[in-house]
Amino acid sequence: MIRPLLGAAAAAVLLTSAAPALAQATAVDLDRFDGRWFEIARNPNGMQRDCSRAQIDFNPSSTGRYAILVTCVRRPSGQVETLRATARVTDTTSNAKFRFSLAGLLSFGGLASQQYWVWDHAPDYSWAIMGLPDKSSWWIWQRSQSPAASVRAATLARARALGFDTSRVTHTGA
């Protein structure tokens, strides 16, 4: 059930780039960032090829790290798959840079990991733009599973303004 998701996740984690980041991630109040998010848009990627809806639970753990649970609804089957990961803050000045590590059999002691940045977020933390440091992959997260079309358009425009390639966007969510 989770094999395709995990296999693709492991492949995605191995992708790295020597390209410099084009801008700085925005500062994050971790207490306000915690909780449930819904992916509403992303760039196409192999790991989520047939994922029509993704829900991300980002919660602090007793170890000082964050427990990440990603739930994906596959289309057309409607099959639900989950991926567990942990995250740790790698830049305590901004709290906007994280290293996510896969949990379970593919974790290899933390070797299957990837850096993710919070590139921007709403002042009220109703949306966030996550991405790789080289901007090759990105995701727009919302607190609402079904934000208004104007909110979707505004956050996509913000991602574009930050330098993300939004020409081939995958719209997700309800």
Q: pLDDT of 120-132, one tens digit each?
A: 999 999 999 999 9
The pLDDT score that the predictor gives to residue 46 is 66
- Check which CATH number belongs to the domain holding 76 and give it: 2.40.128.20
- Number of domains within the chain: 1
User: Does position 149 have pLDDT exceeding 70, yes or no?
Assistant: yes
Q: Which of the two residues, 48 and 60, has the higher pLDDT score?
A: 60
The reported pTM is: 0.80
The full 3-state SS of the chain, as one line of letters, equals CCHHHHHHHHHHHCCCCCCCCCCCCCCCCHHHHCEEEEEEEECCCHHHCCEEEEEEEEEECCCCCEEEEEEEEECCCCCEEEEEEEEEECCCCCCCEEEEEECCCCCHHHCCEEEEEEEEECCCCCEEEEECCCCCCEEEEECCCCCCHHHHHHHHHHHHHCCCCCCCCEECCC
**pLDDT tens digit sequence for 54-100:** 899 999 988 889 999 988 887 788 888 888 999 999 999 999 999 99
pLDDT > 70 fraction of the chain, expressed in percent and rounded = 78
Domain that holds residue 63: 3-16+24-171
The pLDDT score that the predictor gives to residue 90 is 94
The pLDDT score that the predictor gives to residue 174 is 59
Give the C-alpha separation, 100 to 89, whole Å. Answer: 9
The pLDDT score that the predictor gives to residue 24 is 67
